[in-house]
């Protein structure tokens, strides 16, 4: 029997000719990732290990990004813990204030993940790197600790669900609408502990930013990971995002699913039929299109996060906000995902557009996504957000409401002061 992309990557990293769904394996890791919330827990767990030190100072990335710049004393102590650990162990890929970014945008941007890699991160949205044809998945802090010490992790090989894409998006439709459409179709447990594998001629119509967005939210369907095939776009991205100081072409491995790869389900999706989609409270599966969205006034809009803080996302929002004003009484917060994206947006004049429209622009941070800071919601408030989760109390007060949407939909909603269809712009 054939193997899926994910199964081939895991087999290679386990030193096996083949694997099958349900099999337990120990795999070598190409990267272990942690942030300012999860890393301190992992670091303290390592204190209990007989083995001291880390497996490879170049294959660990520590990115304080959730409460950075520090919100309070506790967050400052967490960052201090991570900072000192990185220094003591000579960790090369440590990024904080001044060179930081939201982890899942920063690592691909710096060329730290390549096609065919096996990556774990103590953050559930580590599945983002599947856009590059890598196996990447979120783990707990204890697994992160073991990974930092040994360079290995145990996995149960996942089965897979196949999404065959065709066609291309209509204007004002993007990868965020696609993944909300898919989660609305299969539910938040529709791919539970499975690999979501995307294939078909429609993949070529998706930008890399679209693919990052789709892979990022695979976990919201319960998936172990999401993954795209490696094509010309992927290879161009890898070439142009090679690590600083590297010479020659990046070395990586391409894996393709076998023609007889086993899938538990196959879904055919015509991208031309996907329309702007909004996930209503309090689950990402509560997806609605504008044929079924009532008039809902809002208090806040957040444009950013590891899901939608890339340059194409900011351009999309700016194209709607340009020459317009954010509705009176609505707070619009824009957060570029990395320093590089921040600089590019500034150089392109996007900040001028945002500020003239009445929005504010922040340094890169995860802050509002998890109700940390830079946009916490008060009781009863409603927010349209380009983030990835809209659970009860996720962004603040337990009775606040989060509506997940694309940057275009978020920007249109900021202008109208209510959930708005971006196709009107």
pLDDT for residue 269 is more than 70? yes
Q: 3-state DSSP call for residue 306? A: helix
Domains of the chain and any CATH numbers: 5-270 (3.30.499.10), 277-424 (3.30.499.10)
Which segment of 214-223, 245-254, 326-335 scores lowest on mean pLDDT?
A: 245-254
Q: In whole angstroms, what is the distance from residue 298 CA to residue 327 CA?
A: 10
Using 50, 70 and 90 to split pLDDT, how confident is the model at 100?
A: confident
63 closest CA partner among 345, 366, 385, 375? 366
pLDDT at 137: 97
**Percent of the chain whose pLDDT exceeds 90:** 90
pLDDT in tens, 219-237: 999 999 999 999 999 999 9
Query: Which tokens in the block code for residue 277?
Result: 């989609």
* Cβ pair 373, 71 in contact under 8 A: yes
pLDDT for residue 245 is more than 70? no
Residue 361 CB: number of other CB atoms within 10 A? 19
274 closest CA partner among 133, 399, 167? 167
pLDDT at 51: 79
pLDDT for residue 247 is more than 70? no
pLDDT at 285: 96
Mean pLDDT of 8-27: 96
Instruction: Quote the crossing angle between the two packed helices 407-416 and 311-321, to the nearest 10°.
Output: 30
Identify how many contiguous H helices and E strands the chain contains and give both numbers. 13, 18
Mean pLDDT of 309-313: 97
Using 50, 70 and 90 to split pLDDT, how confident is the model at 250?
A: confident
Q: In whole angstroms, what is the distance from residue 409 CA to residue 425 CA?
A: 10
DSSP state of 101: B
pLDDT for residue 326 is more than 80? yes
Query: What Å distances lie between residue 173 and 165, 168, 271, 281, CA to CA?
Result: 15, 10, 9, 21
Mean pLDDT of 358-385: 93
pLDDT at 423: 97
* Cβ pair 230, 9 in contact under 8 A: no
pLDDT at 146: 95
* Cβ pair 209, 175 in contact under 8 A: yes
Using 50, 70 and 90 to split pLDDT, how confident is the model at 22?
A: very high
pLDDT in tens, 151-179: 999 999 999 999 999 999 999 999 999 99
Compute the mean pLDDT over every residue in the chain, rounded to the nearest whole number.
95
Q: 3-state DSSP call for residue 79? A: helix
Q: In whole angstroms, what is the distance from residue 374 CA to residue 410 CA?
A: 17
pLDDT for residue 129 is more than 70? yes
* Cβ pair 9, 129 in contact under 8 A: no
223 closest CA partner among 292, 158, 302, 288? 158
DSSP state of 326: P
pLDDT for residue 387 is more than 80? yes
Using 50, 70 and 90 to split pLDDT, how confident is the model at 50?
A: confident
């Amino acid at each position: 029997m054939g193997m899926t992309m994910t199964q081939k990557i895991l087999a290679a990293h386990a030193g096996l000719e083949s694997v099958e769904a349900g099999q337990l394996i120990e795999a070598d890791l190409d990267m272990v990732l942690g942030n300012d919330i999860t890393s301190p827990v992992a670091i303290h767990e390592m204190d209990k290990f007989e083995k001291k030190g880390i497996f490879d100072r170049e294959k660990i990335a520590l990115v304080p990004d959730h409460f950075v710049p520090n919100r309070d004393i506790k967050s400052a102590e967490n960052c201090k813990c991570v900072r000192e650990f990185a220094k003591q162990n000579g960790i090369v890929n440590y990024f904080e204030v001044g060179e930081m970014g939201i982890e899942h945008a920063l690592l691909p941007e710096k060329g730290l993940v390549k096609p065919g890699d096996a990556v774990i991160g103590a953050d559930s949205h580590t599945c983002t790197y599947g856009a590059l044809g890598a196996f990447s998945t979120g783990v707990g802090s204890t697994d992160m600790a073991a990974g930092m010490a040994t360079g290995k992790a145990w996995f149960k090989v996942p089965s897979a669900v196949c999404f065959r894409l065709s066609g291309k998006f209509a204007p004002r439709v993007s990868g965020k609408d696609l993944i909300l459409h898919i989660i609305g179709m299969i539910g938040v447990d529709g791919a539970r502990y499975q690999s979501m594998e995307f294939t078909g001629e429609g993949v070529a119509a998706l930008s890399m930013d679209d693919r990052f967005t789709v892979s990022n939210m695979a976990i919201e369907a319960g998936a172990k990971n999401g993954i795209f095939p490696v094509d010309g776009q992927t290879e161009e991205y890898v070439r142009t995002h090679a690590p600083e100081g590297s010479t020659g072409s990046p070395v990586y491995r391409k894996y393709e699913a076998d023609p007889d790869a086993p899938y538990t389900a196959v879904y055919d999706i015509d991208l031309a039929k996907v329309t702007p989609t909004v996930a209503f409270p309090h689950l990402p599966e509560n997806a609605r299109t504008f044929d079924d969205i009532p008039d809902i006034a809002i208090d806040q809009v957040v444009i950013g996060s590891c899901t939608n803080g890339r340059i194409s996302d900011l351009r999309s929002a700016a194209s709607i906000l340009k020459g317009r004003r954010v509705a009176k009484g609505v707070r619009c917060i824009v957060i570029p995902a990395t320093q590089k994206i921040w600089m590019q947006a500034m150089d392109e004049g996007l900040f001028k557009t945002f500020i003239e429209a009445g929005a504010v622009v922040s340094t890169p941070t995860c802050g509002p996504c998890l109700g940390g800071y830079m946009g916490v919601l008060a009781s009863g408030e409603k927010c349209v957000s380009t983030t990835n989760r809209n659970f009860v109390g996720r962004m603040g007060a337990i009775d606040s409401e989060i509506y997940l949407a694309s940057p275009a939909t978020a920007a249109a909603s900021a202008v109208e002061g209510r959930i708005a269809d971006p196709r009107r712009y």
